[in-house]
Structure 1
Amino acid sequence: METDKEKSLPEKSPSFSSRNESNNINENPCDDHDQSPESQNNPQPSEPTAANPETDNAVEEQPTDVEDSSPPLPPDLNTLSEEIDQFISALSSSEPDHESEPPEVPENLEQFAVLVEAKVANYDSGDGPPVRWTQLTDEDSSTFVEAVERVSKLSTLLRKFSSEPKYASSMNRIGGIFQRAMSYLEEEFRSLVEDYKIPDSSDDNTNDAKSKHSSSNQDPDQRAVPEADPCPMSENIFPGYSDEVVTNLNRLVKVMISGGHEAECCQVYFISRRNALEDCLHNLGFDKFSIDDVQKMHWESLEREIVAWIRTYKQFAAVVFPRESNLTATVFSHALSASISESLFGSLSRGVMIQLLNFAEALTMTKRSAEKLFKFLDIYETLHGLIPTMDGLFPKECVEELKSEASMTRCRLGEAMICIFCELENSIKTDAGKTPVPGGAVHPLTRYTMNYLKYACEYKDTLEQVFKEHKKIERADSATRSDYDCNSSQGHMEESQSPFELQLTKVMDLLDSNLEGKSKLYKDPSLSLVFLMNNGRYILQKIKGSTEINSLMGDPWCRKRSSDLRSYHKNYVRETWGRLLYCLNHEGLNVNGKVVKPVLKERFKSFNAMFDEIHKTQSTWVVSDEQLQSELRVSISAVVIPAYRSFMGRFSQYLTPGRQSEKYIKYQPEDIETYIDELFDGNATPMGKRRL
C-alpha cells in the first residue's frame, strides 16, 4: 500500500523509477514534512506520562477512526507551484528596508523544496551516471525547466531580503537546491554542445582536403580549388547539430543565464565550439604552424599548405562562419542573451581569422624567390575578394580589427611581391654564364623569363593594383636600378604607363641586354645572329600569344621587335651567303672576251667547298620555330639557287663534258635546294652519303 509520501510525489518517467525509490525522502534532512501543519505544531511525546484507562481506550479505539483523523494528502508540484508563484509575485513587489512588511514564507515552501530536490536527485544521483538530457521526455524536461526557473527566481528574490531573519532558513534551503540543479544543467549543456558531428574521414571531399593535392609543377593559372564542405549539417543550417539539440541548447541557455550562470554557460559553449572549428580547419587540410615552422619549411611543402589555406579561408568565409553565426544566434536567442551571441561568435571567428592571417603573414617573412610570386598572388586575391564582405560576416565589435589585420597582411604580401619582381630583375642581371647555348637555340633564361611573365600577366589586374599601391616602396637595389634607368632607352617612359607596365618593360629591356651580351659568346657572327633570331622570335611569339602581356607591351613594342628580327635575318643572309655568292660572281672570268678556265674551275671548287662547310655547320644549328625555320630556308634559296642556276647555265659549257664536268660541277640546282632544306634541324647528314 502506498504511503502518503509516495502519493505526494509527481509521476516519474519509467526510466527513472528504480533510482527514484532510493533517492527520494531518505536523503532529505526533513523526513516529517508530509505531516499536517497541526501535527507539526503539536508534537506527541515519545512516552506516555502515566497509565490512563481513558487514554488507553482512546488509543485502542483509534484504528476505528483512522479514515476520519488521518492528515490530508500533501499537494502535488503543480499545486504547490501556484502558491509559490504567488509568493514570488509578492516578493517582487516588495522592497527591502521598506515600511511594509515583506510577505510571510508559505507553509508549503518546504514541501515544494522537497519535491524539486527529489526531482533533481532523480536525474543527478550520486549512485550512478546522471540521466542525460536527451533521455528525458518533452514533458519531463519542460517540468524540470519550469521547476528550476521557479527555484531560480526564489533564490534571487530571497537573497534580496538577506537581512530578513525569517527568510534565512528558506534562502539556504532553496539556494542549495538551485546550485545542484545548475550544476546538473551545466553538465548537460556541456554534453549537448560537445556532441557535434565530426566529418567522416572516408568522405571523398575530406580526403581531397587532407591530401592537399597540389603539385609544385602545377601551372599558376590553374588556381580554381574545389571547395568541400567539411562540416556535415542536418537538414537545417546548424553545423553538426539536429534541430532538437539546438532547441534544447536554447532552453538550457535561458535557464542558466536567468539563474546567473552566464559565465559558466558561455565558457562551456566557447570552448566546445572553438574545438569544433579547430576540427573543421583540420579536416579542410589546414594545420596550425608557428612563424618559425613556416620559415623552416621547404617551398614544395609550403606550396601545398598555401593551397589548403586558400581552400580553408574561402570555405570558412562562405560557409562555416555564416553557419556558426546562425547557430550561436539561435542558441543564445533569449532576450537576456541576445547580446551574448555576438560576443561569442566574435571571439570564435576572431580566433580562427587571426590563425589564418598569421600563416599568411608568416609567408611574407620567408626568403624572397621568384617562384613564390604566383601563390602569393593567390593569397592576395583571396584576401582582396573577401575583405569587403567582412562587414556582413562578423560582429561590429571585431569586424574593424579583422579588416585591419587582413588589410595589413595583404599589404605585406604586396610588398613581398614587389621584392620578388626585384629578384627577377636581379636574376636576369646576374645571369652571366660564359657557355653559349649549342646551336644558337633559345636560351633557358629566355624561356624562364617569358613563361614567368606570361603567367604573371594572367594576374594583370591584381599586379596593376599591387604596383600602384606600392610604387613608393624602396627597392633593395635602388642604386643599381637608378644607374640602369639613366642608361636605358626606356628610362623615360611616358607617365601614362601604369607602374606595372613600366616594371614589365624594364624586365624586357634587361632580358634584351642580357641576350645581346650572350650573343657575343659565339665566335661565328652568323650563329650569333641565329641566336638573336631564335630568342627574339620566341619572345615575340610569347607576347603575341598572351592577350594580357600583349596589351601591356603594346603594338609599338611588337612592331619594333619584328623590325629587329628582320634586321637580324638580313644580316645573317648577308654574312653567311654573301661570301658564297661571291664565288658565283662573273667578274674576272672574261679576259679579252674569253673565259679563263682555271679561274672558272677555281670558282666552282670554292663554291663547292664553301657550301659543304656551311651545310655541315649550319645543319647542326637549331631553329625550333617552324615559321622562322621556313622563312630562313626560303630566303636562302631565293638568293642562292637563282644565282647558281644562272652561273651554271652560262659557264658550265666551258668545262669539258665527262670527268672534268663532274669534278667541278658537284651540285645541280635541285641538290642545292635539298641541302638548304636540311639546315637548322640540328641533325647533320654527311653530304657524300646523301649523294649515294
Structure 2
Amino acid sequence: MEKPPPEKSGSFSRNGNGNQMDDNSGPAGAESEAVHVIFDCQQPGECGPNSNLEEHSSDPELSLPQVRKDVDRFLESLSTINDASNNPPDVPSCVESFLEMLINVLGEFPSNSTTASCFNRASTILHLAMSLLDSEFRLALESCNQGNSADLKSPKPSKQASFSYRQEPAYCVIPESKTSEDVEFPAYASEAISKMNKIATAMISSGYESECCMVYNMARRNAFSSELDRLGFENISIEDVQKMQWQSLEGVISMWITVIKHSSSVLFSGERKLCSSIFSEHPSISQTLFCHIALAVAVRFVNFSDAIALTKRSAEKLFKILDMYEALRDLIPFFDDDACSSECYEELKSEIWSAKGRLGEVAVSIFCDLENSIRRDNGRTPVPSGAVHPLTRFTMNYLKYACEYKDTLEQVFQKHQKMEGCAYSNGPVLDTKNGANDDGTPKTSPFSVQLNSIMDLLDENLDMKSKLYRDPALRCIFLMNNGRYILQKIKGSDEIHEMMGDTWCRKRSSDLRQHHKAYTRETWTRLLQCLNHDGLMANGKLSKTILKERFKMFSAMFDEIHRTQSTWVVSDEQLQSELRISVSAVVTPAYRSFVGRFQQYLTSGRQPDKYIKYQPEDIENLIDELFDGNPTSMARRRT
C-alpha cells in the first residue's frame, strides 16, 4: 500500500491529532506558496476532469481568489503568534472551505491518471529521502564522544556506612564527581547538533515524526545506559541483590547514590538541553522525548532501590537506607518545574516518590526495631568491673549517628506515623517544628518521641543489669559509668542534645550525683566509723587496746577496699578524678586528724608501725590508684 502524500508543516501544526496548532510550524509564506502551487496547477486538461475548484465549493458565493486571500491572511497571522500564547486562534471558515474544495477535486482523479502516478512517485521519493535522513540522524546521534564525561573514581569520606556492636562505625567511600561546570554531557559538537536539528525538523515537517522520535529515543536511551555502565552502575537484578553480602552491597549503594547525584546535576540537565536544541521548533516533542528517556533511567534507579528495600532488615543498614532516601528525595525537584507537567512527568515523579516511600518505611522499621533489640538484651552476666555496657555503647553511638540524619528522619517518621511497633504509632500527630516549649523542653515530634522511648528503655535495661552486682558500691559505679557515658554522648552531639533538651540533661546530672552519694555511703561510711572518737575511753582514760584495734580495723578495711576497687573501671577520666577527689576529701582529713591526735599514745610502745600502717599521705596516694582496672585491663577504653 502506498504511503499517502505527506502533509505540509501547516498540517503538522496540529501535532498529529488536530487538537492544537504548533506555533513553530514554519513561515506563513511557505504555506501561502504551497496554496498557490496547488491552484496554479489546476489548468484545464492538466489535472483531470472538473478541475475548477469553484465548481466544488459548498458555498457558491465564495470565489477562489477570495478563499486564497483569506487563507493567506490567516497563515500570515499565524507567523506573528509567539510561544507564550496560551490559546491558538480558531481555524477560519475560509480554510475549511479550501480543504473541502481540495478534497473534492483530488477525489475525482482516476486511479490510473497521470496525476496519481506523479503522487506515487513523489511519495516514494519522499520515503527514500526520509530513510536516508533516518540513517543520517541515527549516525549523528551515535557519533557522540563520551570522553569528556565525569570521572567518578575519586573517593572521599561521607556519612556513616554501617554499624556493629564490636566497633565504631566505619565511614563509607562515596566517589566525588566533577561539577556540572566541569563536565559536558552529551559531548556533541555544535555543528552536529545543528545538523541533527535540521534533520529532525525536516522529518517532522514531512510527516515522519514517529520515525524521528523513535530513532532519537532509542539512540539516547542506549547512550544513557552506556554512560551509567561506564560510571560503574551495573544493572543488578533483585535476585542478585538478595544473594550479595551487605559489605559488598554497601559499595554498590555508594555508587548508586553517586550516579543519581551525577545524573541530577549533569546527565539529566545535559539530556534536556540536547532535546531542546535538536527539537527547538517543537518544544512539546522535546519535552515528551526527554521525559521518556528520564523515565527509563529512573526505572533502573528505582529497581535497585526496591531490591535494597527487600533485603533482610538490620540495624547496620539504616544509614545507607537513609542515604538512598535522600538521593531520591533530592532528585524529585529536578522534575518539579513548570515544563514537567505532562502525564509522563507525573508517572516519572510517581515512580520516584513510591520508591522513596518504600525506603522510608524500611528506615522507620529498622529504627523502631532498636527498641526490640534493647528489650531482647537480657543477659544475666554482669559486665566485669562495672564498666560501660556494650549495649550502652552501641545504642548511644547508633543514636548519635542517626541524629546526623535528624531532618531526614523527621520527614520519614512524619510520613509513616502509624507504623506498627513504634512508640508513637498510636499517638496523635505531633508538632515537628524545631525549637522549645515555654518551659524549655524541646517540642515533640514523631522522631523525638521514638528517641525518648529508646532512652527510657535503655534506662530500664541498665537499672535491671545493675541489680546483677552483689556489691551495692559496684552497682553504683556501673550506673555512674553508663550514666556518664550517655550524658557525654548527648552533650557531644548538637542534634541529639537539641532533641533531648536541657531539662533532660539536668535530670541525668542529678541522677549521677545521687549515684555518687550512694557509692560514698556504701563504701566509706563504715570505714570512717573506725575513726570515730566515741568508745575510745574506758574508765575515764584512753584505752590503748581499743585504739590499736581501731587502727588495725581501719587498715584492714582500707586494704580490702583498695584491693577490690582498684580493679574496678571508671572509663571517663573526669568521673574518675571526681570520685578520687571526693573520696580523698572525706577520708584523708579524717584519718590525718585521727592519727595526729592519737599517734602519740602508740609511738612510745613497741612496733608502732604494726598498728599505724599508713600515714595520711599514703592514704591519699592509694586512693589515687582506685578505679584503674586490673593489670590485664589497665588501658582505658576509648569512648
Task: Please report the TM-score for the alignment, with normalisation by the length of structure 2.
Answer: 0.75
- Give the Cα–Cα distance (whole angstroms) in 2 for the partners of residues 646 and 510 of structure 1: 47
Aligned pairs for 1:254-269 within 5 A: 254-269=201-216
Contact 1:209 1:228 in 2 (8 A): no
Aligned partner of 1:21 in structure 2 is: none
Q: What residue number does 1:317 align with?
A: 264
Tell me, yes or no, if structure 1 residue 303 matches structure 2 residue 250.
yes
Q: State the shift of 1:208 in Å.
A: 3.1
Structure-1 residue corresponding to 2:284: 339
| Residue number among 367, 371, 379 corresponding to 1:433 in the alignment | 379
Structure 2: how far apart are the matches of 1:578 and 1:352?
A: 74
Matched, 1:534 2:481: yes
Q: Specify the SS of the correspondent of 1:588.
A: coil
The alignment partner of 1:199 has SS state of helix
Cα distance in 2 for partners of 1:87, 1:537 equals 89
SS of 1:674 mapped into structure 2? helix
Q: 1:674 to 1:295 in 2, by over 3 A?
A: same
Q: How does 1:469-618 map to 2 (within 5 A)?
A: 469-475=415-421, 497-618=444-565
Moved more, 452-461 or 249-258: 249-258
Report 1:67-82 matches (<5 A).
Answer: none
Q: Secondary structure at the match of 2:515?
A: helix
Deviation at 1:232, TM superposition (A): 8.5
Aligned to 2:111: 163
2:90 aligns with none
The corresponding residue for 1:190 is: 138
2:51 aligns with: 100
| 5+ residue gaps, structure 1 | 1-84, 103-156, 483-493, 686-692
Deviation at 1:352, TM superposition (A): 0.8
Distance, in Å, in 2 between the alignment partners of 1:209 and 1:656 is 75
For residues 394-473 of structure 1, the aligned pairs below 5 Å read 394=340, 396-473=342-419
For residues 204-256 of structure 1, give each alpha carbon's deviation from its aligned partner in whole angstroms, at most 9, with x where no partner exists: x333389999965796998986333699866xxx6121001111111222233
Distance 1:225 1:657, change over 3 A: farther
- Tell me, yes or no, if the aligned pair for 2:148 and 2:183 is still in contact at 8 Å: no
Contact 2:385 2:569 (8 Å CA) reproduced: yes
CA gap of 1:628–1:214, structure 2 versus 1, over 3 A, is: closer
Distance in 2 (CA, whole Å) between partners of 1:289 and 1:333 is: 36
**In 2, Cα distance between the equivalents of 1:180 and 1:355?**
37
- Are 1:651 and 2:598 an aligned pair? yes
2:152 counterpart of 1:206:
yes
What is the DSSP-based 3-state SS (H/G/I as helix, E as strand, rest coil) of the residue aligned with 1:620? coil
Which protein has greater RCO, CA pairs closer than 8 Å, 6+ apart?
Answer: 2
Change in Cα spacing, 1:212 to 1:364, as seen in structure 2 (3 Å) is same
AA in 2 matched with 1:265: C
For 1:458 and 1:512, how far apart are their aligned partners in 2? 23
The 3-state SS of whatever aligns with 1:681 is coil
The 1-side partners of 2:448 and 2:598 are apart by 60
Displacement of 1:390? 1.6
**For the structure 1 residues 570 and 366, does the alpha-carbon distance in structure 2 shift closer, same or farther, using more than 3 Å as the test?**
same
What's the offset of the Cα at 1:468? 2.4
Q: Output aligned runs, 1:141-160, within 5 Å.
A: none
Q: How far is the alpha carbon of 1:389 from its aligned partner?
A: 3.7
2:336 pairs, out of 386, 391, 394, with 391
Q: Any unmatched runs of 5+ in structure 2?
A: 1-31, 54-104, 428-440, 633-639
**After the TM superposition, which of the residue ranges 295-304 and 166-175 deviates more from structure 2?**
166-175
CA apart distance, 1:425: 0.6
SS at match of 2:607: helix
**Aligned residue for 2:326?**
381
CA distance in 2, matches of 1:428, 1:101: 94
- Distance in 1 (alpha carbons) for counterparts of 2:356 and 2:223: 28
Structure 2 residue 178 is the aligned partner of structure 1 residue 228: yes
The 1:423/1:291 distance shift into structure 2, 3 A limit, reads: same
Contact 1:441–1:535 (Cα < 8 Å) also in 2: yes
CA distance in 2: counterparts of 1:258 and 1:166, whole angstroms: 26
1:639 matched to 2:590? The reply is no
Which has the larger displacement, 245-254 or 212-221?
Answer: 212-221
> How far apart are the structure 2 equivalents of 1:501 and 1:241?
51
Determine if contact 1:214/1:304 at 8 Å carries over to the other structure: no
| Contact 2:272/2:290, CA 8 A, preserved across alignment | yes
Report what 1:352 is aligned to. Answer: 297
Give, in whole Å, the separation in 1 of the partners of 2:131 and 2:525.
103
User: Using the alignment, how far apart are the partners of 1:379 and 1:284 within structure 2?
Assistant: 18
Question: Does the C-alpha gap of structure 1 residues 646 and 630 become closer, same or farther in structure 2, counting only changes over 3 Å?
Answer: same
- 1:463-483 superposed Cα distances (whole Å, 9 cap, x missing partner): 22322222222228999x99x
Do the aligned partners of 1:230 and 1:280 also contact (CA within 8 Å) in 2? no
Q: Distance in 1 between matches of 2:177 and 2:524?
A: 62
Measure, in 2, the Cα distance between the counterparts of 1:576 and 1:213: 45
Relative distance call for 1:159 and 1:533 in structure 2 (3 A) is farther
How many corresponding residue pairs? 528
Does the residue aligned with 2:152 lie in a helix, a strand or coil?
helix
Question: Contact 1:439–1:621 (CA<8 Å) still a contact in 2?
Answer: yes
Residues 283 and 310 of structure 1, relative CA distance in 2, 3 Å threshold? same
Q: Is the alpha carbon distance of 1:159 and 1:260 closer, same or farther for their aligned partners in structure 2, counting shifts above 3 Å?
A: farther
Q: Deviations over 1:512-552 (max 9, x none)?
A: 11111111222222111101000000111111121211121
Residue 12 of structure 1 aligns with which residue? none
Q: What is the DSSP-based 3-state SS (H/G/I as helix, E as strand, rest coil) of the residue aligned with 1:471?
A: coil
1:222 and 1:368, CA in 2 relative to 1: closer, same or farther beyond 3 A? closer
**Residue type of the partner of 1:400?**
E
What RMSD in Å do the two structures reach over aligned CA positions? 3.5
Q: 1:326 to 1:164 in 2, by over 3 A?
A: farther
For the Cα contact (< 8 Å) 1:623–1:629, is it kept in 2? yes
Mapped to 2, the partners of 1:415 and 1:454 lie a distance apart of 21
Do the aligned residues in 1 keep the contact of 2:530 with 2:553 (CA within 8 Å)? yes
CA contact (8 A) 1:206 1:283 kept: no
Cα separation, 1, equivalents of 2:34 and 2:459: 95
Find the aligned partners of 1:442 and 1:593 in 2 and give their Cα distance.
53
Q: Deviations over 1:592-629 (max 9, x none)?
A: 12222222222212211221121111111111111111
Check conservation: 1:584, 1:644, Cα contact below 8 A: yes
> What's the CA shift for 1:497?
2.4
Partners of 1:343 and 1:395 within 8 A in 2: no
The match for 1:132 is none
Greater mean deviation of Cα atoms: 180-189 or 675-684: 180-189
Equivalent-residue separation in structure 1 for 2:322 and 2:368 (angstroms):
16
Q: Assess if the C-alpha contact under 8 Å between 2:387 and 2:481 holds in 1.
A: yes
Overall identity of the aligned pairs, in %:
55
In structure 2, relative to structure 1, the CA distance for the partners of 1:500 and 1:318 (3 Å cut) is same
- Rate the CA distance shift 1:200–1:495 in 2: closer, same or farther, 3 A: closer
Within 2, Cα distance between the matches of 1:210 and 1:549? 26
1:374-411 deviation per Cα after TM superposition (whole angstroms, max 9, x unaligned): 22222223333342342227452322222222222222
Specify the SS of the correspondent of 1:655. Answer: helix
In the alignment, which residue of structure 1 is the partner of 2:566?
619
CA offsets 1:433-484 (integer angstroms, 9 cap, x no match): 22222211111111111111111122222222322222222228999x99xx
Cα pair 1:468 1:499 within 8 Å, conserved: yes
The one-letter code sitting in structure 1 at the alignment partner of 2:177 is E
